[in-house]
Structure 1
Amino acid sequence: MMIASAALALSLALSGQAAPASVALGAAPGQDESAVVAELTIMAKPQGPAVWLVEKDGAKLYILGSAPPLPHQLKWQSPRLNKALDKASLVLVPPEAAVGVTQVAGFVLKLGGGLRQPLGKALEDQLPPDLKARFVESRTQARKGAGEYRNWKPAVAGFLLLSDFRQAAGLSEAKPVSTIERMAKARKLKVKAVGQYRMSAVTAIAGKLSPEDQLYCLRVALDEVAYDGAHSTTIGRDWAEGDLASVRARYRASAAQRCLTHVPGGAALLEKGLVQTADAMTEALKRPGVTVAVVDLGFLLPADGVLDRLKAQGATITSPVE
């Protein structure tokens, strides 16, 4: 991100790249539907991942739609994005809370005592039999022992396990943001996060989860492990080739999003991320010249998402061919 990234990288409640409250990307809208496609200029499909061009008052904003996690070894080329970066003076990336799980877990260890098991209790001993069996199977796939998670409450353990599984499976929560940052650095471009999540807000929500919510969030994290295992290479390849129709068909609300929308205060945190992103894009269009941004498809495409909000403000949007 990957929040975020990718990301609520403890993906429990944060992925700076987590999508808004409802990620129904669906099929490409018709001409009279969402402002995402209404009155757009359609161009021939270029090489590489899908990129949108947003223009207003002479300013140009190129938006790369991201779909983390992506395979570590994924190779992709985008001549159009390279040309945009050659002309750009600023690169926008997701909120700074979209970091790896290690950094977030370090914060929780110091300040998130409410996220750990009571003294003398072990995680797997507290789980219902069916959930314990799924958890053990998933941590075995991640090549981790029970001791890695025994002191965490279910929701935190689930998202730590999800991140561990992705690492073991060769998936990166940081891509494609880390790749774009490297490309920007090579050109000595300024890189700026569109906002920042306060860790205290995240841990406050996570620390108040009811026992039922804890188990719900663990279940959706385990669902994500299974989903990533089944789709990791296909969605990455489709993203890299700009096959937006196929990505739409597979992309879905992240486990972090589904957990957050299920608990008090979570939806507001996700909406804040959407507002920060849309506001940053609006400000970029007030600058002369070219800006490049990386935005999660879950923020970008839904009705009243980033593209709809920019269109409502009078911007012209050129959409990639699906």
Structure 2
Amino acid sequence: MVRCIPALIGGTVLTLTAGAAWAQTPPPSQAPIQAVELVPQAPGSAVVEELEVVARPPGPALWLVEKGGAKLYVVGSAPPLPHQLKWDSPRLNRALGEASLVLVPPEASVGPLQIAKFLLTGGGVRQPMGKTLESRLPPELLARFVSARQQAKRSAGPYKNWKPAVAGFILLSDFRQAAGLSEAKPVSTIERMAKAKGVKVKAMSQYRLGPILSSAGKLSDDANLACLNDALTELEYDAAHATDIGTDWAHGDLASVRARYSTSAVQRCVMRTPGGPRLLAQQIGQSADALNAALNRPGVTIAVVDLAFLLPTNGVLDRLKASGATITSPVS
């Protein structure tokens, strides 16, 4: 995350980060998919806003969801985070002491690295024979791309045969690796914390990637350039906020984290693919369904969900509240 994705998809996203993952298209008999603002803008989720106006307890954003005697602690993840980030959450530690299960995003969740891999397996994503990426980019995009790959300590070679959208996501992942940012965190850290306490860890569900693969090669030339522009914008944001990209999350500063997600390249790119908005909305719906199912089991469950799915209006937290759950932020 990486899972989500948050990002199109992270640990994605499209983790696309959150962490986000690709959901199977439901049969016609199921309820219609609810619309959602996938690139969070103010005011966003009413539940999230309620947390933002109270004093923030120490540690990452955490919500307590209660329904019918069951308890579900929801940890908002925000990949990528620095590999060496040190953070502490007394509330999460106490929740782990009570919990019998930790739910994490599925392995197929969507982050920049994952979406790049998905796109690479689809058709129509390579440059035409005899053409190279940098030889076909407009001057302004070319200058930004070259500067970004130099920051990532990469030559032109690894990207030259890919169309702009794919090259942009590969470069974004390469830059994060070079900058010491991990698309697997914080999920991997929370998994280790849970296993150290003997708490079972389970992926929320599995998703089929077929729908996105079928549309990956259908981006127009203009959409490819727009996706590259978005990837470079996200990369430039990460570079400019290298010292606080983890601190904001670790301190539960949702306003700053929201600003990060407003630059999410993967989400914006997926919204340009045929069927992309529907797939992303499905992912939020399936995440909410998985957490509602957890509230039907006795005891205490912890779930790690990309903030890209929690921040929007009609996101996961709003849907849980609409289903009858009570949501608060544990203060201790």
Q: How does 1:92-241 map to 2 (within 5 A)?
A: 92-98=103-109, 109=120, 111-241=121-251
Partner of residue 22, structure 1: 38
Are the structure 2 counterparts of residues 245 and 156 from structure 1 closer, same or farther at C-alpha, using a change threshold of 3 Å? Answer: closer
Give me the whole-angstrom Cα distance separating, in 1, the residues matched to 2:133 and 2:202.
39
| Higher mean displacement: 207-216 or 246-255 | 246-255
Which one-letter code corresponds to 1:22 in the other structure?
A: L
| Corresponding residue SS for 1:143 | coil
**Over the residues paired in the alignment, what is the CA RMSD in angstroms?**
2.8
Partner of residue 83, structure 1: 94
Q: TM-score, normalised by structure 1?
A: 0.87
- Deviation, 1:172, is 1.1
Partner of residue 280, structure 1: 290
Give me the whole-angstrom Cα distance separating, in 2, the residues matched to 1:58 and 1:270.
31
1:65-124 superposed Cα distances (whole Å, 9 cap, x missing partner): 112111111100111101111221111112322377667656655x32421122222111
| Higher mean displacement: 84-93 or 160-169 | 84-93
Give me the whole-angstrom Cα distance separating, in 2, the residues matched to 1:10 and 1:187.
22
Count of equivalent residues = 314
Q: TM-score, normalised by structure 2?
A: 0.85
- Does residue 67 in structure 1 map to residue 78 in structure 2? yes
Are the structure 2 counterparts of residues 35 and 265 from structure 1 closer, same or farther at C-alpha, using a change threshold of 3 Å? Answer: same
Are the structure 2 counterparts of residues 9 and 287 from structure 1 closer, same or farther at C-alpha, using a change threshold of 3 Å? Answer: closer
| Corresponding residue SS for 2:273 | coil
Task: Return 5+ residue gaps in structure 1 as ranges.
Answer: none
- Deviation, 1:131, is 1.1
| Higher mean displacement: 307-316 or 111-120 | 111-120
| Higher mean displacement: 208-217 or 312-321 | 312-321
Give me the whole-angstrom Cα distance separating, in 2, the residues matched to 1:230 and 1:239.
16
1:264-320 superposed Cα distances (whole Å, 9 cap, x missing partner): 211111111101110011001001000001111221132211111111111111136
Which one-letter code corresponds to 2:290 in the other structure?
A: A
Task: Return 5+ residue gaps in structure 2 as ranges.
Answer: 22-35
Aligned partners of 1:99 and 1:174 also within 8 Å: no
Residue identity (%): 64
| Corresponding residue SS for 2:160 | coil
Partner of residue 32, structure 2: none
- Deviation, 1:26, is 2.9
| Corresponding residue SS for 2:63 | strand
